[in-house]
Amino acid sequence: MNMKRVRYYLLLGLLGLVPILISGCLGGSPTGPKALFTAAPDKQVIPFTANFDGTLSYDEAGKIVSYTWDFGDGTIGHGPVTAHVYKEDGVYQVKLTVIDSRGRTGESTMTVQALNPPPQAKFSYSPKSKMDDKYIVGASEWITFDASDSTDDDEIVAYDWNFGDGHTDTGKVVKHRYLWPGTYNVVLTVTDNDGGKTNYIQQVTILGGPPCNADIDENGDAMSNWAWGQKGSDR
């Protein structure tokens, strides 16, 4: 084979190679479908309905033929647009998987926060008297604070009291007395089984003088075992 023929075949080969190179370069390398979606809302107190829209998903070299939703709570859905009700609080990873006509897949995930509804805190107290449109309680009088009106969608697991005079207590129903007159902010903090907390504040107005029945316990009984006696008695 002489040199002239070698050059001829080389030229032919190169001319054939050029369109292949150009088409290969311009054609690029398709990356498959791209999943993209919106969620509205993506953060809400339960129960709520989240609306998912996957119509932004696209495929540069094909057509998307399937949309599959994993709502993160063990349920799935289908279609480009869907909705899902979250009934339990938690953080959910929502995943959209799209499949194109060539069988290639694309995924995208997003966090949806289903918030625990906080407990409702409320308390009442007694005894109390009304004076000038204000409720008052006598100093040194035992007061019963009752948080039974507090509510939650599930369960309240803790009641914490701050009586505003440096004393605290826990429990749904507690007793406390103020030894000195004044206006006190009583703060009730209730905690539900999901860790949600809510405060409730109520002012308590105490009237009266310094303690005179400080030796009476919260049940009204004498705290010391003593009695009046005659002078000279052996008691």
Partner 1 sequence: MKGLVAVVGLVLLAGMGAYAGDLEMFAGAGPGGAALGEINAAITLYNTIIAALNETPTIDGTVPLIPHLGAGIGYYAGEQFWMTDSLAIGGKLEYFRTETSTSGSYTSGDETSQIAVDLGCSFVGFVLTGRFDFLSSGLTIGVTGGVGYYYSGFTTAITFQMPSGYPPISVHPHEGEGHYNNQAVGFEAGLSITYPMTDWLGIGAELGYRALTSPTITDADGTGLDLDGDGTAEQIDLSGISIQFRISLAIDLSI
Smallest distance from the beta carbon of 75 to partner 1, in angstroms?
18
Concatenating the DSSP letter of every residue in 169-208 gives EESSEEEE--SS-EEEEEEEEEEETTS-EEEEEEEEEEES
Residue 93 or 185 having the CB closest to partner 1: 93
The alpha helices in the chain, defined as continuous H runs, are 3-27
Smallest distance from the beta carbon of 28 to partner 1, in angstroms?
5
Smallest distance from the beta carbon of 59 to partner 1, in angstroms?
10
Residue 112 or 188 having the CB closest to partner 1: 112
Residue 22 or 173 having the CB closest to partner 1: 22
Characterize the bridge pairing of strands 156-162 and 168-170: antiparallel
Q: Which helix (H) or strand (E) holds 218?
A: none
Task: Tell me which amino acid residue 185 is.
Answer: N
Q: How far is CA 227 from CA 16, 42, 48, in A?
A: 122, 70, 66
Residue 77 or 211 having the CB closest to partner 1: 77
Smallest distance from the beta carbon of 4 to partner 1, in angstroms?
9
Q: Which of 161, 160, 153 is nearest to 193 (CA)?
A: 153
| Footprint of partner 1 (CB under 8 A) | 6-7, 10-11, 14, 18, 21-22, 25-26, 28-29, 31, 34-42, 53, 56, 58, 60, 94, 96, 108-110
